[in-house]
Structure formats: C-alpha cells, structure tokens
C-alpha cells in the first residue's frame, strides 16, 4: 500500500485521492519503505491553510445587521484591507451607514412629533406610541430583506441613500 508524499494519505492508485499528487510505487507493499510502518518514515507536515476571510456576499450581508451591530461591521469592512477594495462591500457598507443615520434622524423627528401632538392634545397624543412596535417591525423587515438581497449578490439601491453610497464606493 502506498502513501502520498504530499499529504500522507493512503493511496491505492497512481494518484492520491486526497490531494491528487502522483504517487510513485502505487500498489507496492510496506516493504518498499513508503508507508508509516516502514523504518525511518517521517510523515509530511500538514498543509498550511490560509484563512481566506469572508466572501463578498457574506460581508455585504453582515453590513445590514440590525441594532447597531451593522455599524460596527460597516466600519470594520471600510477599514480592513481585503474588504475595503471590494466595490460591492464598500457600497453596502456605505448604504448601511447612511440607512442607520437616516433612521436615527427619523426616530428623532418621530419622537418630536409625538411629543408635540401629546402636548397639543393634553396627553392624548401619547396613544400614538402604540405605532412604535409596528415601525420597529417594518425596520427589522427592511434589514432582513437587505441582508437577504446582499447575500444573494443582488444590489439594491435605496431611494435617496443609494445614490450617496454609490458616490462613496
């Protein structure tokens, strides 16, 4: 039985089934001195596996992670070397940042409107707070759809912020 000189796997044919390296002496027994049972056999070192990092679609999907985690991912992807060169990741990161900023502005304006309405109606306007869970659900759904589209390598340009993100990427 022959063993691969590259990865040390047991080879039954002329080529290693593990890595495809040609195996000399295929079909020869351990007496040929090629196997682990032979004296002086030193197994080859394991192959070096370099970490390839995240693929473009996974990194783009992580940009749209809701609840502030996406902002951290956006900043990392805009600063980290292999990701900041990919135009798709840069576009999704900038669009996500602009989306988060837009949502913060939206929430500030909404709170001011509800507070003004409550003040004008002597407290009756605080019933408008009941729409907050519906708004949160819609925002969460938006982030889930954006993550899904980015994961499937589909570019979705949001109406106003998509153009701004495209200029930045």
pLDDT of residue 50: 46
- Residue 21: phi, psi to the nearest 5? -70, 140
Q: Are both 3 and 70 inside the same structural domain?
A: no
Whether residue 162 sits in one domain with residue 115: yes
Per-residue confidence band for 33, with pLDDT thresholds at 50, 70 and 90: very low
Percent of the chain surpassing pLDDT 70: 83
pLDDT of residue 40: 62
Task: Check whether 98 has a pLDDT greater than 50.
Answer: yes
- Expressed as residue numbers, the domain containing 72 is 56-168
Residue 15 has pLDDT above 80, yes or no: no
> Do 153 and 75 share a structural domain?
yes
* pLDDT above 90 coverage of the chain, percent: 36
Average pLDDT, the chain: 81
Both 60 and 32 in one domain: the answer is no
Whether residues 14 and 88 share a domain: the answer is no
Residues 34 and 81 placed together within one structural domain of the fold: no
Residues facing residue 22 across a β-bridge: 15
Do 15 and 63 fall within a single domain? no
- Both structure tokens of 117: 């309405």
pLDDT tens string 71-87: 898 999 999 888 888 89
Do 37 and 71 share a domain, yes or no?
Answer: no
For residues 82 and 53, is the Cβ–Cβ distance under 8 A? Answer: yes
74 with 27, same domain?
A: no
Residue 10 host element (H or E): strand 10-11
* Residues 10 and 91 placed together within one structural domain of the fold: no
- Specify the number of domains making up the chain: 2
Question: Whole-prediction pTM value?
Answer: 0.64
Residues 45 and 80 in one domain: no
Whether residue 79 is found in the same domain as residue 41: no
């Amino acid at each position: 039985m022959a063993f691969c000189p590259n990865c040390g796997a047991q080879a039954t044919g002329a080529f290693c089934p593990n890595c495809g390296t040609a195996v000399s002496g295929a079909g020869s027994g351990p007496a040929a001195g090629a196997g682990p049972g032979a004296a002086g056999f030193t197994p080859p070192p394991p192959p070096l596996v370099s970490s390839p990092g995240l693929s473009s679609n996974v990194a783009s999907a992580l940009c749209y992670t809701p609840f502030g985690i996406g902002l951290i991912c956006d900043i990392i992807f805009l600063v980290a070397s292999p990701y900041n060169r990919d135009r798709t990741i840069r576009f999704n990161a900038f669009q996500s940042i602009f989306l988060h900023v837009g949502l913060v502005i939206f929430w500030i304006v909404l709170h001011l409107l509800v507070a003004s309405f409550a003040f004008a109606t002597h407290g009756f306007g605080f019933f408008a707070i009941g729409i907050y869970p519906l708004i949160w659900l819609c925002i969460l759904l938006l982030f889930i759809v954006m993550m899904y589209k980015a994961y499937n390598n589909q570019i979705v340009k949001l109406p106003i912020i998509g153009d701004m993100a495209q200029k930045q990427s």
